[in-house]
Amino acid sequence: MDSQALLSKALSTGELLGLAILKAIVILIVGLYLARIVKKRIFHVVNKATNNDEILANFISQAASAIILVIAGIAVLSALGVQIASIIALLGTIGVAIALALKNSLSSVAGGIILIVLRPYKKGDTIKIGGTEGVVQAINLFTTILKTDDGKIVTMPNNAAANSTIINSGVNEILSIEEVTYNLKLPYETNLDSIKENLKATLATLKNVVQEKGYKVDITSFEEDYVAASIKIWCDKLELDQTKEALSSALKHILQEEYIKHKG
């Protein structure tokens, strides 16, 4: 075979390979686009059909998107010349290995399905799983997302949630609750236990304070001339200004009494 024939064959092979790669790229782009569109569309339809059940809509839309991506992946491999029968055989051969390697992830998917079916909680509920308490933000394919009182986002595997004791306090009241923090500079002689007792008694008299949430008094740092402390309480957003004013006055009175007691 002369050099011209070899060149012609190489060009032909290169052309076929280029077309296959181009076809695979197009299929991949279309697959990604369809997955995104279908995910949004299914979320909208399911959310509307279930009276704004965002958790169920989110879970189903993610599952549909994942299925489309898997199909697109197989189509891409097929476009590159890999036989579908070979792909299926390959998947069957390595299926056990994948299941073992991803057993925690697959367990989380199964846990997510259990949570969706049994519905021990829904978006907006305040729940406690193990030592973690927060407001349910979402149930995804693999994880449950919680938001704690201090604004932190906790990502918990669904299998851990499904296999744990769940304490559900019901519809989240924290959505209408505002966290209020007071930063104080206290003398080293300050009796924090006395302040806590007086604060507890004062909070009991304020109707707009969420009593169930309690309060937190924390030492944040030790400075040369004072102890830096913070006081956190939670109150109704609708009465936020009035509650802040009342609590500021109460704190001032408590600290004045403590100062006078110390001086006396």
Asked whether the predicted pLDDT for residue 233 surpasses 50, the reply is yes
> What pLDDT sits at residue 121?
79
Topology of domain 177-262, per CATH?
Alpha-Beta Plaits (3.30.70)
Classify 121-168 by CATH class: mainly beta
pLDDT in tens, 53-96: 777 788 788 888 888 988 888 888 888 877 766 666 666 666 66
Read off the pTM. 0.47
Asked whether the predicted pLDDT for residue 1 surpasses 60, the reply is no
pLDDT in tens, 7-56: 566 656 666 777 888 888 998 999 899 999 988 898 888 888 777 777 77
> What pLDDT sits at residue 174?
45
> What pLDDT sits at residue 228?
84
Mean pLDDT over the full length of the chain:
76
> What pLDDT sits at residue 37?
92
CA-wise closest residue to 161 among 192, 194, 133, 198? 133
Helix/strand/coil (H, E, C) string of the chain? CCHHHHHHHHHHHHHHHHHHHHHHHHHHHHHHHHHHHHHHHHHHHHHHHCCCCHHHHHHHHHHHHHHHHHHHHHHHHHHCCCCHHHHHHHHHHHHHHHHHHCHHHHHHHHHHHHHHHHCCCCCCEEEEECCEEEEEEEECCCEEEEECCCCCEEEEEHHHHHCCCEEEEEECCHHHEEEEEEEEEECCCCCHHHHHHHHHHHHCCCCCECHHHCEEEEEEEECCCCEEEEEEEEEEHHHHHHHHHHHHHHHHHHHHHHHHHHHC
Asked whether the predicted pLDDT for residue 242 surpasses 80, the reply is no
